[in-house]
Amino acid sequence: AKYTIVDRETCIACGSCEAVAPDIYGYDDEGISFVLLDDNKGTEAVPDEFIDDIVDAFEGCPSESIKIADRPFNGNPHAFE
C-alpha cells in the first residue's frame, strides 16, 4: 500500500497536484494542498487506481511538498526523512 501526505509548511499553492490527482489532493481557502482521503493525516491507503496520479503529483510538485511512503505518516510529513 502507498500513503501520501502534503507538507503544508512548504506547499506554495502552485496548483499542480490537484490538476494531476484531483481525487487525492484538494486545496484549502488559501490554496494550500491537503490529502482529501484522510484530512492530510497520511493514514489512509491510496486506492490502487490513483497510485500513478500521486506519483505524477510527487514528481511535479515544485517545492517537494508531496510525500509518498509505504507506511502511514500518522500526520507527520517528515516521518520517513
Nearer to ligand F3S, 64 or 80 (CB): 64
Is residue 4 a contact residue for ligand F3S (CB under 6 A)?
Answer: no
Among 1, 9, 12, 78, binds ligand F3S (CB under 6 A): 12
Nearer to ligand F3S, 11 or 46 (CB): 11
CA distance readout (Å), 72 to 26, 55, 59: 19, 16, 20
User: Mask of contacts with ligand F3S, 37-66, x by CB under 6 A?
Assistant: ------------------------xxx-xx
Q: Which of 2, 5, 12, 1 is nearest to 77 (CA)?
A: 5
Q: Which of 2, 3, 7 is nearest to 64 (CA)?
A: 7
**Number of residues in contact with ligand F3S, rule: CB under 6 A?**
14
Cell of 81: 526523512
